[in-house]
Amino acid sequence: MRELNLITSNPGKLREYRELLSERFNVKMKPLEYHEIQADTLEEVVCHALETLREYAPVIIDDSGLFIDALKGFPGVYSAYVMDTLGCDGILKLMDQEKNRKAHFRCVVGLLDEEIKIFTGDCPGEIVRSKRGTGGFGYDPIFVPSGYDHTFAQMSIQDKNLVSHRGRAMRALIKHMELSFTRI
Ligand code: ITT
């Protein structure tokens, strides 16, 4: 089975990748520190970082963020920093008086094999009023995807992957990899 290096220090992400990719790939977690530039978009961060990871190809990195409408897209590209400083409780406080609860998650997956390819996935939803659920990671306890009643933290990995930003990006990645394999 082909090996695919996933550069992340987030075991929650690894579980989600393995759930969808393990039939086709041996996904290996590499918790390497890579240089994350401060940029306006997740795509820029991913492309720049991949350039420094050529020796690990085939390799993927995943940069994701939560974009909240009422906060003009915050925390967005600052999601990691905001999780470490304010956390879910801080976001709920910022949203305390807010009626507009709309938000979306975005996942950008960068693959470096012979060349760089980018796959994105978005998941619209809402910020709940108090944390619910113990599964998942990060902002999962405060986000309900559109059309569902449960937060990501109340869902199984399989169910989260069906609707999530990462699930969508991963399915685009799988399609691409299957097509490039049939060309070989
Ligand atoms: P790596 O960079 O090591 O992969 P990370 O957790 O820092 O791990 P990101 O920069 O992509 O990953 O994520 C930014 C923040 O958004 C971080 O705090 C994550 O916990 C959170 N996040 C990313 N994807 C998420 C998801 O599917 N559900 C909930 N929170 C998520």
Hey, where are the domains in the chain? 2-183
Which residues are 120's β-sheet partners?
108
- pLDDT at residue 181 in the model: 56
Q: How far apart are the first and last CA of the chain?
A: 16
Mean pLDDT of 160-167: 98
Residue 86 reports pLDDT greater than 90: yes
Nearest residue (by CA) to ligand 1, atom 24, is: 64
- pLDDT at residue 184 in the model: 40
The alpha-carbon radius of gyration of the chain (Å, integer) is: 16
At 134, is the pLDDT very low, low, confident or very high (cuts 50, 70, 90)? Answer: very high
**34 CA to middle of ligand 1, Å?**
15
Angle at 105 between CA 171 and CA 14, to 5 degrees: 55
Tens digits of per-residue pLDDT, 24-70? 899 999 888 777 778 889 999 899 999 899 999 999 999 999 999 99
Q: Which of 159, 173, 156 is nearest to 25 (CA)?
A: 173
Helices within the chain (DSSP H only): 11-21, 42-51, 79-85, 87-94, 157-163, 165-183
Task: Say which CATH architecture domain 2-183 belongs to.
Answer: Alpha-Beta Complex (3.90)
Residue whose CB lies within 8 A of the most ligand 1 atoms, among 7, 9, 13, for a mutation test = 13
Instruction: Give the binding-site residues of ligand 1, using a 6 Å CB cut-off.
Output: 8-10, 13, 62-65, 79-80, 83, 105, 136-140, 152, 164, 166
CB 133 within 8 A of CB 67: no
